[in-house]
Chains A and B, each alone.
Chain A
Amino acid sequence: MRIISGIVFTIGMMLLALPATAQERSALKKGFELSANSGKRILVFRPSVSVGAQSTGGMFEPNGDWTERASKNIQVSLERLQSRLGNTVIVAPEAYGEEAQRLQEHMSLFAAVSQAVIEYQFFVGNRLPTKKRDNKNDVFDWSLGAGVASLPGAQDADYALFIYNRDAYGSTGRKILQVLALLGPGIAVKSGEHAGYAGLVDLKTGDLLWLNADGAMGGDVREEEGSEKRVRQLLEDFPGSAIKQEQ
């Protein structure tokens, strides 16, 4: 089924000639403030990183080597940037048995909640009625529930940071297609996909404190320098952050 949706997607890209939309939004829970150098401990759960190429027809071609490299690079950049914010990054301990199951449920829950935020609060014109009102009144109110306090490593930290990254680099064929389509019939074919989001969760209450989502990110995560840029983008609106101004 994935193949077919890939094909349908390709056709969609070819015929509709969608312009590349860069959807970037971040939001902060009202009343939440984190002053610089507040010395908070931030627990980072295994970031979801997937790196590959985009075939000529638009299919995602996962690449194990790139993904491994990107995971390592992102981890290094994360620790460096957070220490500059005055925070300590704690890598979540490996979980076993029931703890692992609870963690897995919360990872899925975070993915679902952040997708809901992106879909219903960040995208204008696609909002649930309740969130429409929330947006008007500048309310950002989402939570994973108090269960997060029981996650492995939670007792040693103040906040949890979840990170998601998916990169598809346009293959040579895709790039050639892109150029020819533009030169010939003037169709805009998108080459590559670089999506990422990062979220901060209060480990006492489970409230989502901050979320940053970007459908078109910069920085080549396969290189150390590029991943630094990527993580900088992911964290640019991080509460108490001075990262943005440095760019």
Chain B
Amino acid sequence: MTLCGASRLLASAVLALSGVPASAQKAAVLSPYAGVYQPQGIDEVGMWREDDESERALAASPLVIRDEKLTGYIRDVLCATVGLDRCGSVRVYVIREPVFNATMSPNGTMRIFSGLLLRVRSEAELGAVLGHEFGHFERRHSLAKFKAGRSGSDLLAWSGLLTSMVRNYTVLRAYRDLRWSVYGSLFRYGRDQEREADLLGVSYLNQSSLPPQAATAVWQNLMGELAASATARGVRKPNFNAVAFTASHPPQGERADYLAALAAPEAASRNDGTARYREALAAWLPLLLDDQIKLNDFGASDYLIQNLASDGWTADLWFARAELYRARGNQRDFVNAIQFYANAIAMRDGLPAAHRGLGLALIKSGRQVDGQAALQRYLQLSPDASDAKMIRLMIPGGSMQ
């Protein structure tokens, strides 16, 4: 093969790969549901079978939060967003993992990460994320991505072979360039899929009874959290408009912009279901907050807590904030923590962990007597606590017995 021929082959291959349609900047009017939920062809049937196996394991996994009420509620929000004809093909699993994420796999398995539930603030915001995930499913994105990855790696295998036959520096360099452009186009392909799913997500909301403006609010809120996290760590605020080479999603700033533009303006006055959402999550909020605090991301956690408290503080929120400050554990943090624990106790006395935290924070700031009194109260309220023996050691006259 001539040198020129080889590089022409590589060039045309790059062109063929980069033929990814740019997503049109217009919220689609949805066509009736086509019933895409039966697999067709070897690849899809194969993927579904693997997926069925993994769902079988997921259904029995200890990671899943098994609360029929919560799962049913999320399912109802999904149905309200995408419509009853569409949502029937989805199984919802809530996974206890405190990060902002949700996934949808080819056979209709939807995984909701518990960190998402802490971050969205209304049914409309939850619906925006669920609709986005459903969009991946309706357009069979996993399958398309699998095929793109296969074409890309096939191309690299062949061109790698040809390159090794020619043994010429120019060809080798062309091969290296090709390698990067294949990687790049695969990542970009993934980002284009995300944009398409975003457009679909807004389209569902436009046609639902929920306000589509929530979609942009989700990303505004996330940017606020990321900025707060960066500030607390003393690092530069992330750039919300830059696209990294290996980024799997479009930058948040871009998403917030186009999602705002696509939302139907007349739908802004719809009820976004904030009150219903808060009520449904109330029982789980303490656990979600506890998991979040353990991530050791002070700025993000404080942002989330204050965000949740924007319509009024509750005992749970004061307690979570106190725990957050005590966990960071600078001497100055204990002063704040003591105040926050006191606020929580003032709102609800029967919160044993608040007395425990208060006692420990008081002792740390040198107020031994007050601290021991608070710990006494903790042991009174919860004598069988797993750490009761250890706490008893900190109280005069206490022992391991």
A residues neighboring B (CB under 8 Å): 2-4, 6-7, 10-11, 14-15, 48, 50, 52, 55-59, 61-65, 67-68, 95, 100-101, 103-105, 107-108, 173, 177, 180-181, 184-185, 187
Contact = CB atoms under 8 A, between A and B. Distances in A.
A185 to B, nearest CB: 4
Interface of B: 39, 42-43, 45-50, 53, 57, 59-62, 145-146, 148-150, 152-158, 160-161, 164-165, 179, 182-183, 186
Given A7-B149, A7-B183, A50-B50, A56 B42 contact: no
A74 B53 CA distance: 17
Contacts of A185: 161, 164-165
Contacts of B156: 7, 10-11, 57
Nearest to A187: B164
Nearest to A15: B160
Contacts of B48: 64
A4 B150 contact: no
A61 B153 contact: no
A3 B152 contact: yes
A65 B45 contact: yes
A57 B152 contact: yes
Given A62-B49, A184-B165, A6 B154 contact: no
B164 A59 contact: no
Contacts of B148: 3
Contact of B62 (A58, A65, A68, A105): A105
Nearest to A102: B60
B49 A64 contact: yes
Nearest to B145: A3
Contact of A59 (B49, B57, B150): B150
B43 A61 contact: yes
B183 A4 contact: yes
A4 B61 CA distance: 27
A100 B43 CA distance: 30
Given A62-B47, A63-B42, A3 B158 contact: no
Nearest to B49: A64
